[in-house]
Amino acid sequence: MGSDARRGRLVELLGPVVAAEGFDLEDVTVTPAGRRRLVRVVVDRDGGVSLDDVADVSQSVSKRLDEVDVLGGSAYVLEVTSPGVDRPLTEPRHWRRARGRLVKAELRDGTSVEGRVAEADETGVELDGARRIAYGELVRGRVQVEFNRRDAGLDDELDEGLDVDEDIADADDEG
């Protein structure tokens, strides 16, 4: 069985198992790893994926792979993971899950735009609350990594009542 056919068979086999756990099957890859194969299953859902979620899905997927001889009886290592930040945004659900994130979008006309995802639905995405782009105009998007972003909410709660400059000055006075 060729690698494309094997991947298709695995997607067909594991899709319902992953869906039964409440997740979307984003990708399945099989790569050689010495005498074994590495089977990587990428899952996602609205609200994200926790380590406990990964463990639950891993058990279900492992059980299903053991029931069916899709890997030809050879040994394998199973890795269940969530998509990384570098995953391209190609489906409406990807854009919806990127709400509030800064993205760079490649457009079919060869240009690109950058902005924060304000809204996303089944027809398109709205960047920065102003520009709406239909999915038909998009090639793909990528979440941009922001090292110094300050979200309202959690960061503000953690910093509430804390004046860093004042704390540093106090430490200098003591020393």
- pLDDT tens readout for residues 136-148: 999 999 999 888 7
Identify the band that residue 171 occupies on the pLDDT scale cut at 50, 70 and 90. Answer: very low
> Token digits for 65?
């792979």
- Indicate whether 153 belongs to any domain: no
Residues 92, 44, single domain; the answer is no
Q: What is the CATH number of the domain that holds 93?
A: 2.30.30.100
Residue that is written with structure tokens 């953690």 in the block: 158
Q: Are 83 and 42 in contact (CB under 8 A)?
A: yes
Domain assignment of residue 172, yes or no: no
Answer yes or no: do 68 and 136 share one domain: no
How many secondary structure helices (H) and strands (E) does the chain include? 5, 8
| Domain assignment present for 109 | yes
Lowest pLDDT segment from 5-9, 17-21, 137-141: 5-9
In a domain, 53, yes or no: yes
Cα-flanking dihedrals φ and ψ of residue 155, to 5°?
-60, -40
Asked whether residue 152 carries a pLDDT value surpassing 60, the answer given is no
At 16 the three-state DSSP class reads: helix
Which residue, 31, 52, 81, sits at the end of a domain?
A: 81
The pLDDT > 70 percentage for the chain reads 83
The answer to whether residues 76 and 25 belong to one domain is: yes
pLDDT tier for residue 1 given thresholds of 50, 70 and 90: low
**Residue 75: left if φ>0, alpha if ψ -120 to 50, beta else—which one?**
beta
Residue 15 lies in a domain: yes
Domain match, 54 and 126 both: no
Cβ burial, residue 25 (10 Å; 0-12/13-18/19+): buried
What is the span of the domain harbouring residue 1?
A: 1-81
My answer on whether 16 and 40 are in the same domain is yes
Task: Examine the domain organization and report whether 23 and 67 are in the same domain.
Answer: yes
Residue bearing tokens 């919806």? 96
Same domain membership, residue 138 and residue 119: yes
Residue bearing tokens 């400059």: 165
| Per-residue model confidence as pLDDT tens digits over 87-117 | 899 999 999 999 999 999 999 999 999 999 9
Residues 73 and 112 in one domain: no
- Cα–Cα dist 164/166, whole Å: 5
Structural domain ending residue among the three candidates 42, 65, 81: 81
In this predicted structure, the answer to whether residue 14 has a pLDDT above a threshold of 70 is yes
Average model confidence (pLDDT) for the chain? 84
CATH number for 41: 3.30.300.70
Distance CA 131, CA 112 (A): 13
Query: Is pLDDT at 174 greater than 90 in this prediction?
Result: no
Residue 71 lies in a domain: yes
- How many structural domains comprise the chain? 2
